[in-house]
Amino acid sequence: MRKFLIALLLIVLVAAVAVPPAGAWGGGWHGHRGFHRGGGCFGCGFVGGLVLGGIVGGALAAPYYAPPPVYMVPWPSCYTQPGYWAQAPFSRAGEYTTYQNVWVPPQTVCR
């Protein structure tokens, strides 16, 4: 916001200095010796534009230093793991091991 106000102030100041008051060159804006006929100052506008562009461009191109990052603890992320069928080993004493299907219910995991 500060850069914008500085640039606006510079534009207003240069415009106030660069534009002469009406009637300064005899006929004013529409007179015989005014800006439109025979007495215009092309170089004044050209040089004024270059100067104004340099001033405003320099003010807007000044280095900007971002504020340091703020580190925060992230919100806890929770999700629900769907239920699934799993095979669990099953064995009796003295027999070989078999597998049986077991339902594992849904679980909510938070980090």
pLDDT digits (tens, 9 = 90+) for 39-80: 567 777 788 888 888 888 887 777 777 888 888 888 888 999
What is the value of pTM for the model shown? 0.30
Q: Answer positive or negative: Cα dihedral of 47, 49, 51, 57.
A: negative
Question: If we measure between CA atoms, which residue out of 86, 90, 89 comes closest to residue 102?
Answer: 86
**72-111 pLDDT, tens per residue?**
888 888 999 999 999 999 888 878 889 999 999 999 988 7
Separation of alpha carbons 53 and 59, rounded Å:
10
Mean pLDDT, residues 4-32 taken together? 64
DSSP class of 101 = E
- CB count within 10 Å of CB 46 equals 10
